[in-house]
Amino acid sequence: MTDTVDDVELPYDEEAASQQEKIEALRERLDVLESQNEEMRDKLLDANAENNKYQQKLERLTHENKKLKQSPLFVATVQEINDDGVVIKQHGNNQEALTEVTEDMRAELEPDSRVAVNNSLSIVKRLDDETDVRARVMQVDHSPEVTYGDIGGLDEQMQEVRETVEMPLESPEMFEQVGIQPPSGVLLYGPPGTGKTMLAKAVANETDATFIKMAGSELVHKFIGEGAKLVRDLFEVARENEPAVLFIDEIDAIASKRTDSKTSGDAEVQRTMMQLLSEMDGFDERGEVRIIAATNRFDMLDEAILRPGRFDRLIEVPKPGREGRSLIFEIHTRDMNVGDDVDFERLADMADDASGADIKAICTEAGMFAIRDNRTEIAMADFVEAWEKIQADAITDGEPSRAFA
């Protein structure tokens, strides 16, 4: 029940208090009530904000709960579009069905489009084109930091790679004026550690092209058709991102000579290679896509992949000569604190038959010897000792090297 004026307790003695005292008491009571009112107003605002937050959370959970209760959609591929409707084929059971679509949806569809269908096989929406996630991961958006200046002793090989890969991408009009088709691919072969991968990285750095790197072993899969599908996806990614450079390292893993072996593993590898051959010289134009492959087992490659039209340039990348070794020593030590007694010519003579990777290991080992002696400058003796260590740690009698690679 609401209090009346007579029921309200006054903050003063009605009989004893003077008029001034009554006014002061009422003013104090008013201040207290205003303060309490302000406090209650703040609490009300906080409560409203909290209520709105929980209301939004309730709506979100209700929406998510509704989505979770919806029936799943099936994935299908459009086979044909005609006046009677759209012929689709479901993934998994390969069942075909003829379904009706709206005019707006029909305008979005084309053969081989991926669509989502409901239980009645009505097309709900079109899906993005399928591309293997692994192919997306292999894409390199930022070019490696390796430049041609980081490679020594391979001037002739660099020139051939630039003619085969860079020039068709940067100056295609020159090939049109001469009247020839640009080379489609280049195969780098030679011993391990001679700079084949570095050449490919330098191409990615110098060109404004998307660089896609993969190893041949990544195309070898257990189940039938997986390797071939990944090859198709890789070339599709390359075509979507033209101009593009596709680098296949260790191509001998999928392009070795074919045999009469009946094992399922060998058959799957051969199917993958056939798909690669089909992509390299099939009916579909590759556009501005250039291929670089590398192997250290040239003798194992199938003749079919070596013919012109697939790899037009077969470039041998040998171990560097004396001048090349000296230049590689200079390249790997340009950021190192080396002493005045270091003689690169002598180091080149000393490290006879060393590859570029061996020379890099020598430089790293020499730096480790200096650190071991608490020195900040690398002396000639450190390089000599590093070369002796690498020779002693070379793979002999099944023992792996302990040198820095």
For the stretch 275-333, pLDDT in tens is 888 787 754 556 678 888 898 888 888 887 887 777 888 889 888 888 888 898 988 88
Let me know whether 26 and 153 are in one domain: no
* Single residue among 316, 336, 353 that ends a domain in this structure: 316
Question: Can you give the pLDDT at residue 283?
Answer: 45
Let me know whether 269 and 340 are in one domain: no
Residue 195 marked as a ligand binder: yes
Find the distance separating the first CA and the last CA of the chain, reported in whole Å. 91
Let me know whether 3 and 17 are in one domain: yes
Higher-confidence position of 243 and 223: 243
* DSSP collapsed to 3 states, the chain: CCCCHHHCCCCCCCCCCCHHHHHHHHHHHHHHHHHHHHHHHHHHHHHHHHHHHHHHHHHHHHHHHHHHHCCCCEEEEEEEEECCEEEEEECCCCCEEEECCCHHHHHHCCCCCEEEECCCCCEEEECCCCCCHHHHHCEECCCCCCCHHHCCCCHHHHHHHHHHHHHHHHCHHHHHHHCCCCCCEEEEECCCCCCHHHHHHHHHHHCCCEEEEEEHHHHCCCCCCHHHHHHHHHHHHHHHCCCEEEEEECHHHCCECCCCCCCHHHHHHHHHHHHHHHHHHCCCCCCCEEEEEEECCHHHECHHHCCCCCCCEEEECCCCCHHHHHHHHHHHHCCCCECCCCCHHHHHHHCCCCCHHHHHHHHHHHHHHHHHCCCCCECHHHHHHHHHHHHHCCCECCECCCCCC
Residue 198 marked as a ligand binder: yes
Average pLDDT over residues 183-201: 86
Examine the pLDDT at 405 and tell me if it is beyond 80. no
Let me know whether 157 and 296 are in one domain: yes
Q: Do the domain assignments include residue 399?
A: no
Query: Which contacts qualify for 330-334: CB closer than 8 Å, 24 or more apart?
Result: 330/152, 331/149, 331/150, 331/151, 331/152, 332/359, 332/360, 332/363, 333/363, 333/378
Let me know whether 207 and 327 are in one domain: no
Each residue's pLDDT tens digit, 35-78 = 899 999 999 999 999 999 999 999 999 988 887 777 888 889 89
* Single residue among 316, 336, 365 that ends a domain in this structure: 316
Residue 376 marked as a ligand binder: no
Q: Do the domain assignments include residue 405?
A: no
Q: Do the domain assignments include residue 404?
A: no
Q: Do the domain assignments include residue 35?
A: yes
Which pLDDT band holds residue 23 (cuts at 50, 70, 90)? confident
Residue 194 marked as a ligand binder: yes
Q: Do the domain assignments include residue 363?
A: yes
Residue 221 marked as a ligand binder: no
CATH number, residue 167: 3.40.50.300
Let me know whether 116 and 139 are in one domain: no
Let me know whether 281 and 155 are in one domain: yes
Structure tokens at 5: 């004026």
Each residue's pLDDT tens digit, 79-134 = 888 888 899 988 877 788 898 888 888 888 888 888 999 888 888 888 877 655 55
Q: Do the domain assignments include residue 16?
A: yes
Let me know whether 54 and 120 are in one domain: no
Q: Do the domain assignments include residue 402?
A: no
| Total number of domains in the chain | 4
Q: Do the domain assignments include residue 398?
A: no
Let me know whether 171 and 293 are in one domain: yes
Let me know whether 219 and 287 are in one domain: yes
Let me know whether 58 and 78 are in one domain: no
> Which structural domain range is residue 351 located in?
322-392
Residue 197 marked as a ligand binder: yes
Let me know whether 14 and 122 are in one domain: no
